[in-house]
Amino acid sequence: MTAPVIELDNLKVKIGKREILRGLNLELRGRTVGLLGPNGAGKSTLINTLLGFWKPSEGTARVLGYDVRTDARQIRAIIGYMPENDSFIANMPAISFVRMAAELSGLPPDAALERAHEALFYVGLGEARYRVLGAYSLGMRQMAKLAQAIVHGPKLVILDEPTNGLDPQARLRMIKLIQEMRALGTMHLVICSHLLRDIEETCEEAVILKAGQVVHYSNLEEERSSNRRFVELETEGDDGTFADAIELLGCACAVTGPGKIKTVLPEGIEVRDIYRLAADRDVQLRRLNFRRDSLEDIFLKAMEK
Amino acid sequence: MAVYKRTYRGYSGPVTSPLWRFTVLQRYAFKAVFKSRLLLIGYVGCFFAPLLLLCLLYLNQNASVLVLINQKVGFLKVDGQLFMNFLAVQGGLAGILTAFVGPFLVAPDLTNGGLFVYLARPFSRAEYILGKGMVLGSLIASITLLPALLIFGVQGSLVGWTWVADNLFLGGGILLSCLTLMAVFMLMGLAMSAFVRWKIVAGALILAVFAAGKGFGAVINNVMRTENGYFLDLQHLLSTVAGALLRHPADNEPISAWAAAVALAVFCGILLLMLNRKLRVCEVAG
């Protein structure tokens, strides 16, 4: 079995006398993991700890099997980090900036140059790669930050608020790029964002932090598939036996009001079976909804804990 | 694969030695620094004195030419005093070079958070300081240490290797004096660049540290009737150390060479601490 992407074992981090991370226990193996939490939850401290900038006061953290206490340098060699804040050198052309980043990660100059070209083309800055970064728009700078994060072929890419400040079009481009990177299957992604929709669209797993603790872990893929089995119905012309008929199909069923039924479809039963049953019994289906327990609901519930 | 084919692939090729990775920064910083033509001209101008001295050394041993100008062989005495004067001139130029180059080094990395891109890689703060410092260090070495050693070597080859053996302390003195000078200027250039982002002000402050130190030192000496004010005068401290190393101390030297060396070490230590603190803040704040 391969090492987890991120493994936190009672991780505690103190800054000064204040404990920011309070005993995190977590094992993440997904290809894309969303890191959520309100301001001050400890997301940045967790990222900084994974990068080796803060030492754990207790417990430990491992990234792809490397311990943050002892192997910070190896960890940084296999991580690509796209920071939330501006991170560029204004008077440097993008190509030089990305090439330098690759060289600092250990690539020889020729390979670094070749990969810098590729990375900039990949993020859509191919035509603008010789322009200085100071002349870039905010969206272009975000893409340049992404290019420097992936130029050295990292095994884990941490994206901190990747869609921050982007217009809807640029945001869509960034989301599409992240989805593409996930589909490639050559790297793991940790995405830290306040925008729940971004996490929902790109991640398989989500971790919600609050006050330095993990308050919720959610496997979004599983949630999505379980949501697809939960159906809410509104009927017309039901003589009160439709729910029983659904139960006879093998579905768990509850009547929540006149003509209102909630049911969970077991394996082998599909929505079309419900339609067929309604047609047979001459019952009108006025509404059929899949439950949509969105990440926002999950997040809000977690915040209430 | 052609780069314009929009794709991404992992990297499994060779990697460079981490030991020499600081030279990456040095290379990129050199490119940025020498974009300024004025600086390039100034830098070339710094070689005027060494070239002049090399010509004089040649003349010094060339009897046929010396006859024409009514001079005797050996009219120029090559000793500690000559190297003291040479280092004073070149040291002054090194100070000006530091004031011009220093502000280009750290400030641009701090202005838009570029530093974080370096430090989020297998690259430490110490390597960053070393890489950036080596830009100034190598420039200063090229106008002080290397010409001084060249002059020493040329004189040895002209006069004979017995002169080299008798004056070996000069070689060691040149080396240590120049290394001290490099350390002080290098750290001052980096620290000013880290704390003052406006390049002109940072450059002016580097020069002002010398002038202000000298001025404050003189005021303290006069008002308090002491000689401790000399500890604030960097120029004096450097020349005291160089004088002792080249065995040519000034008459009535008010402070000992050891005390001056310790003062310089403390000064460098403070600059290094300040620099480290500043970089640490940027490291964790992103």
Residue A200 and residue A241 in one domain: no
Please answer yes or no on whether B108 and A126 come within 8 Å at the CB atom.
no
Please answer whether residues A184 and A122 qualify as being in contact, where contact means their C-beta atoms are separated by less than 8 angstroms.
no
Cβ partners under 8 Å of residue A230, min gap 6 = A262, A263, A264, A265, A290, A291
User: Chain B residues with CB inside 8 Å of A134's CB?
Assistant: 112
Q: Cβ distance B114 to A87 under 8 Å?
A: yes
Final residue in a domain of this structure, among A223, A249, A264: A223
In angstroms, the CA A296 to CA B5 distance is: 38
- pLDDT average, residue stretch B87-91: 95
**Do B11 and A107 make contact, defined as CB atoms within 8 angstroms?**
yes
- Per-residue confidence band for A291, with pLDDT thresholds at 50, 70 and 90: low
Rg over CA atoms, chain A: 24
pLDDT of residue A57: 93
Question: Residue type for A9, please?
Answer: D
Tokens matching residue A94: 């993008």
- Span of A19-23, A146-150, A247-251, B131-135 with lowest mean pLDDT: A247-251
Which amino acid is it at B141?
A
Hey, what's the torsion of the CAs at B192, B198, B200, B205, to 10 degrees?
-30
Say whether both A101 and A195 belong to one domain: yes
B253 dihedral zone (left: phi>0; alpha: psi -120 to 50; beta): beta
Residue A35 confidence (pLDDT) above 50: yes
Tokens standing for residue B68: 């024409």
Find which of A86-90, B85-89, B105-109, B207-211 is predicted with most confidence, using mean pLDDT. Answer: B85-89
Q: Are residues A149 and A261 in the same domain?
A: no
- Residue A86: the pLDDT is 86
The size of the A-B interface in CB pairs under 8 A is: 129
* Rounded average pLDDT over A45-74: 92
Rounded to whole angstroms, the Cα distance separating A290 from A278 reads: 17
Do B21 and A106 make contact, defined as CB atoms within 8 angstroms? Answer: yes
- Residue B116 amino acid letter: F
Q: For residue B29, give both structure tokens.
A: 């910083």
pLDDT greater at residue B93 or residue A217: B93
Which pairs count as long-range contacts for A54-57, CB under 8 Å and 24+ apart, including other chains? A54/A13, A54/A15, A54/B284, A55/A13, A56/A11, A56/A12, A56/A13, A56/A21, A57/A12, A57/A13, A57/A14, A57/A19
Domain end, chosen from A197, A223, A249, is at A223
Handedness of CA A50, A52, A57, A62 (dihedral sign): positive
Mean pLDDT value across residues A25-41? 89
Residue B195, token pair as written in the block: 């704390």
Contacts of A180 in chain B (CB under 8 A): 8
Chain A residues with beta carbon closer than 8 angstroms to that of B1: 118
The DSSP code sequence of B14-83 is ----GGGTHHHHHHHHHHHHTT-HHHHHHHHHTTHHHHHHHHHHHHHT-HHHHHHTT--TT-S--SHHHH
Per the structure, the complete domain to which residue A69 belongs is given by 6-223
Ranges A72-86, A110-124, A214-228, A287-301: which has the least confidence: A287-301
Residues A113 and A156 in one domain: yes
What angle is formed at CA B148 by the lines to CA B142 and CA B150, rounded to 5 degrees?
Answer: 90
Name which of A73, A87, A115 is nearest B114 (Cβ-Cβ).
A87
pLDDT in tens, A85-121: 888 888 899 999 999 999 999 999 999 999 999 999 9
Amino acid in position B11: Y
**What is the H or E stretch that residue A253 is in?**
strand A252-257
Tokens read off for A204? 């398989």
Number of domains chain A is built from: 2
- Could you give the CA distance from residue B275 to residue B281 in angstroms, rounded to a whole number? 10
Residue A297 lies in a domain: no
Residue-wise DSSP of A174-227: HHHHHHHHHHH-SSEEEEE-S-HHHHHHH-SEEEEEETTEEEEEEEHHHHHHHH
Instruction: For residue A89, list chain B residues with Cβ-Cβ distance below 8 A.
Output: 108-109, 112, 114
Nearest to B14 among A100, A108, A124 (CB): A108
Is A185 found in the same domain as A98?
yes
Of all residues in chain B, the one with the smallest CA distance to A144 is: B117
Q: State the best of A43, A55, A89 to mutate against chain B, taking most chain B CBs within 10 Å.
A: A89
A181 in B contact zone (CB under 8 Å): yes
Per-residue pLDDT averaged across A42-65, rounded? 92
User: What is the average pLDDT score of chain B?
Assistant: 90
Would residue A305 count as lying in a domain?
no
pLDDT per residue over B160-204, tens digit each? 889 999 999 999 999 999 999 999 999 999 999 999 888 889 889
**Helix, strand and coil percent figures for chain A, each rounded to 5:** 40, 30, 30
Indicate whether A149 and A252 sit together in one domain. Answer: no
Interface of chain B toward chain A, CB-CB under 8 angstroms:
1, 3-16, 18, 21, 24-25, 28, 32, 108-109, 111-114, 116-124, 283-284, 286
Nearest CA of chain A to the CA of B203: how many Å? 19
Task: Please work out, in degrees rounded to the nearest 5, the angle formed at the alpha carbon of residue A157 by the alpha carbons of A89 and A25.
Answer: 125
Structure token digits, residue A170: 């640029």
Contacts of A242 (CB under 8 A, 6+ apart): A235, A261, A277, A278, A281, A283
Q: Are residues A18 and A89 in the same domain?
A: yes
The model's pTM:
0.84
Decide if B118 and A79 are in contact by the 8 Å CB cutoff. Answer: no
Phi-psi label, residue A289: left if phi above 0, alpha if psi -120 to 50, beta otherwise:
beta
Q: Give residue A259's pLDDT.
A: 86
Where does the pLDDT of residue B268 fall: very low under 50, low under 70, confident under 90, or very high at 90 and above?
very high
Question: A15 lies in a domain?
Answer: yes
CB proximity A132 to B under 8 Å: no
Nearest chain A CA: its distance from B145 CA (Å) = 29
Q: What is the pLDDT, as a whole number, of residue A292?
A: 62
Q: How far is B29 from chain A (nearest CA, A)?
A: 11
- Are the Cβ atoms of A76 and B121 closer than 8 angstroms? yes
The token pair that represents A112 in the structure block: 């670094």
Give the distance from residue B19's alpha carbon to the nearest chain A alpha carbon, in angstroms.
10
- Cβ atoms of B158 and A113 closer than 8 Å: no
Report the distance separating Cα A18 and Cα A229, nearest Å.
45
Residues A277, A172: one domain?
A: no
- Cβ–Cβ < 8 Å for B252, B243: no
Q: Is A198 on the interface with B (CB under 8 A)?
A: no
A211 with A283, same domain: the answer is no
Do residues A170 and A78 both lie within one domain? yes
Q: What is the mean pLDDT of chain A?
A: 88
Residue type, A19: E
Candidates B26, B206, B17; CA nearest to B130 is: B26
Q: In three state form, how does the secondary structure of A125-186 look?
A: CHHHCCCEHHHCCHHHHHHHHHHHHHCCCCCEEEEECCCCCCCHHHHHHHHHHHHHHHHHCC
Chain B closest-CA separation from residue A200 CA (Å): 24
Close Cβ partners of A231 (under 8 Å, ≥ 6 residues apart): A262, A263, A264, A265, A271, A274, A288, A289, A290, A291
- CATH number for the domain that contains residue A280: 3.30.70
Q: To probe the interface with A, which of B31, B117, B283 has the most A CB atoms within 10 Å?
A: B117
Whole-number pLDDT of residue B259: 95
Q: What SS3 class is residue A8?
A: strand
Identify the band that residue A62 occupies on the pLDDT scale cut at 50, 70 and 90: very high
Specify the pLDDT at position B1: 47
Give the C-alpha separation, B245 to B29, whole Å. 33
The reported pLDDT for the residue numbered B175 is 96
pLDDT digits (tens, 9 = 90+) for A110-158: 999 999 999 999 999 989 999 999 999 999 999 999 999 999 999 999 9
Segment 11-40 of chain A within 8 Å of chain B by CB: none
Question: DSSP E strands: which ranges in B133-218?
Answer: none
Q: How many CB atoms lie within 10 A of CB B196?
A: 19
A chain contacts of residue B286, beta-carbon cutoff 8 Å = 44, 48, 83-85, 87, 160
Q: Nearest C-alpha of chain A: how many angstroms from B18? A: 7
Q: Could you give the C-alpha distances from A213 to A195, A207, A220, A223, B36, in angstroms and in order?
A: 20, 10, 20, 22, 52
Residue B16 predicted with pLDDT over 70 = yes
Helix B80-101, helix B145-159: angle, nearest 10: 150
The CATH number of residue A11's host domain is 3.40.50.300
Q: Is A296 domain-assigned?
A: no
* pLDDT score of A159 more than 60: yes
Cross-chain residue pair A76–B16, CB shorter than 8 Å: no
Same domain, A212 and A255: no
Q: What does the alpha-carbon distance between residue B196 and residue B271 come to, in Å, rounded to a whole number?
A: 14
Residue A298 lies in a domain: no
Are A79 and A101 members of one domain? yes
In this predicted structure, the answer to whether residue A297 has a pLDDT above a threshold of 80 is no
Average pLDDT value for residue range B50-63? 90
Residue A114, exposed/middle/buried by CB under 10 A (0-12, 13-18, 19+)?
middle
